Amino acid sequence: MTRTRRGMHPVRRKRLIIVVFVFSGLALAVALAMQALNENINLFYPPDEIVGGHAPLNTQIRAGGMVKMGSVRRTAEGVDVEFVISDLKNSEFVVTYTGILPDMFREGQGVLATGRLLDDGSFLAVEVLAKHDENYMPPELIDMGKNNDS
């Protein structure tokens, strides 16, 4: 059997090589372009970049991270809100926002804020979106998990 198999017809092999070659070249070009644009493709600045001074001041940017547990403070009127975005490591910053928060906004959950980073290092948000993860869970199970954790 192996004797009779001589591989592909030379014309087809040539065509295949061309297709593979052109596709690889293109893929490489796209990969390099995306590498160069990496910063721009990221939707938001994580807390360590905000705290580390890598994010521009006083221009509209997005910042994201986790809402720190117990950090949400509302004013008496209930529309002004202040909370801390953290990366759960050592970077965190204060966000102030006036408006309605999304239903899914929770302490300990992901959040994405659009607004300006002020000179004092706090973030003045004009829009707040909730970010959720792929860990779906029925409520009963999560209560059990919490008991185990704490």
Q: Which stretch binds another protein (CB under 8 A): 53-61, 72-80, 115-123, 138-146?
A: 138-146
Q: State how far the Cα of 26 lies from the Cα of 31, in Å rounded to an integer.
A: 9
Interaction mask 94-133, another protein, x per CB under 8 A:
-------xxxxxx--x--x---------------xxxxxx
| 110 close to 69: Cβ distance less than 8 angstroms | no
* Shortest Å, Cβ 30 to another protein: 5
| 122 close to 96: Cβ distance less than 8 angstroms | yes
* Shortest Å, Cβ 140 to another protein: 8
In the bound state with another protein, the residue whose beta carbon lies nearer, of 42 and 75, is: 42
Confirm or reject binding of residue 43 to another protein (CB under 8 A): yes
Two structure tokens written together for 56: 């521009």
In the bound state with another protein, the residue whose beta carbon lies nearer, of 133 and 149, is: 133
Confirm or reject binding of residue 73 to another protein (CB under 8 A): no
Two structure tokens written together for 23: 């596709």
| 147 close to 117: Cβ distance less than 8 angstroms | no
Which uninterrupted H or E stretch holds 40? Answer: helix 10-41
Instruction: For CA atoms 117, 122, 123, 124, give the dihedral sign.
Output: negative
Binding region for another protein (CB under 8 A): 1, 12, 15-16, 19, 23, 26-27, 30, 34, 38, 41-44, 46, 64, 101-106, 109, 112, 128-142
